[in-house]
Amino acid sequence: DVQCFDFEEGRIRPLTAEAECAFVHEYWHYLQNISTPMGLFTYVLDHTLLSLFSETLLPHADGTSVGSGGFEEEMRVRLEATSRFIKAIEGSTIHHGYEHDEPSGIEVTAVRSDAAPVNSPEGTMKVRPVDLTANLLLGSGARIPYNLRLGTYIIEEGAAYEMERSFPGSANITPPVVPYQVLHALGRHLCGREPNRIELVSLATLSLMTWNPGRTLVNLLERLPKRHSVLRIDDLNAGFTELVRPDLQKILRDLPLRLNALTAITRGRGPLELASQRVFERFSTLVSRRAKDPLFDVRAIFDSDTPPLGFNALLTDVPTCDIVLKPAMSNGQPGEAKIASFDLSDDREDSHALR
């Protein structure tokens, strides 16, 4: 059982049903962030921004930021390119608040992908944004036009929401329509029927294994059967994994470069460097499992007799580490990131070192 510390009562006690749902929701984010390529990549992008921000603290040296106004042209271009690419990856939503009538639902009416591609800061990747046209449904029956950009934010929040709904306490929780119900509304629009929870969580997870999660998710949802069918995890693995395998293979080949870039950003930053090493360790192991069984976490939940039992299995199934990180030496010798890279065509594992 998962226990929590009650600060008001000053004691450890079991989670309430509602708190268990919140824990499941957040733990699902954690699991996806450290076991999908897009999870690691957004982590690297965030630390790239952090590195740029720390440059603004240097002039005064008293913890005060001078902002990016003092950046040289090269730094300014790098900041703008990084910020633009993060927005393209994450997508965007506008949280509407209504004084008398909060939205009770959302319907997606159109999906467009005609915006210009956005390049990554180093120019090795392109993301083609996906825009959704929708209506917010009010309790009064009114419909309010609503536009949003599909990205990791909507995908991850929608999947985590679907996961928490597998638990009894969710009946007493009413989260905001945006972003939590957008994934389901998108699936309904593209499938012409109500998608089930296994389909939504599985396809959302697969989309996070590519460099274009929004576009990939749309492609996957469009391929779902138009009539209701009982799809198992194995059906989804067999029918949809091949669509993301090329991207996943390329990502695994590029993984040492990404890890090494993050090692360089956090090197010498004390706790931040240590935290990043811990992330590398867990990510390296879990992504290897992801490569062999792309939906291993979804399987653990939905292939068990009851979702909570499957979730408990995920909590206790701690993988071993298969990454070695050596920091840069004081004499200037470069550090080394050594990880396992996996050939998806068989079970061979080849270890590569990158300096």
> What confidence tier does 327 reach under pLDDT thresholds 50, 70, 90?
very low
User: 339 or 17, which is more confident?
Assistant: 17
Average pLDDT for the chain: 78
User: What are the tens digits of pLDDT across the range 259-280?
Assistant: 676 677 677 767 777 777 777 7
Q: What is the pLDDT of residue 131?
A: 95
pLDDT band for position 79 (cuts 50, 70, 90): very high
The pLDDT value given to residue 351 = 36
Instruction: Give the angle subtended at the CA of 30 by the CAs of 119 and 179, to the nearest 5°.
Output: 65
- Do strands 349-354 and 130-138 pair parallel, antiparallel, or not at all (unpaired)? unpaired
Q: Is the pLDDT reported for residue 77 higher than 80?
A: yes
Tell whether pTM > 0.85. no
Q: Which residue from 312, 295, 283 is spatially nearest to 205, judged by alpha carbons?
A: 295
Chain CA centroid to CA 32, Å? 6
Quote the pLDDT of residue 322. Answer: 36
109-119 mean pLDDT? 92
Grade residue 337 by pLDDT with cuts at 50, 70 and 90: very low
Q: Can you point out the beta strands (E) in the chain? A: 3-6, 11-14, 103-112, 118-119, 126-127, 130-138, 143-150, 324-326, 336-342, 349-354
Q: Tell me which of 55-59, 105-109, 145-149, 274-278 is least confident.
A: 274-278
Average pLDDT of 82-103?
77
Give CA 40 to chain center in angstroms.
8
Residues 6+ apart with CB under 8 A from 331: none
Share of the chain above pLDDT 70, in %: 79
Answer for the pair 171, 148: CB distance below 8 angstroms, yes or no. Answer: no
Higher pLDDT, 244 or 336: 244
| Inter-CA distances, 289 with 17, 196, 232, 235, Å | 30, 25, 19, 19
Strand partners, 158: none
For the CA atoms of 249, 250, 256, 258, the dihedral, rounded to the nearest 10 degrees, stands at -130
Residue type, 54: S
pLDDT in tens, 168-197: 888 888 888 999 999 999 999 999 999 999
Instruction: Judge whether 191 and 221 are in contact, CB under 8 Å.
Output: yes
The stretch 200-209 carries a mean pLDDT of 93
Helix 182-191 crosses helix 197-207 at what angle (to 10 degrees)? Answer: 100
The pLDDT tens digits for 306-320 are 666 666 666 655 443
Bridge partners (DSSP) of residue 137 are 105, 143
pLDDT at residue number 207: 94
Question: Which is it for the CA torsion 165, 100, 93, 19, positive or negative?
Answer: negative
Q: Which two tokens stand for residue 6?
A: 């009650």
Return the structure tokens found at 138: 């009010």
Phi/psi at 237 (5° precision) = -60, -45
Cα 308 to Cα 24, 84, 127, 165, 298, distances in angstroms: 9, 39, 36, 11, 12
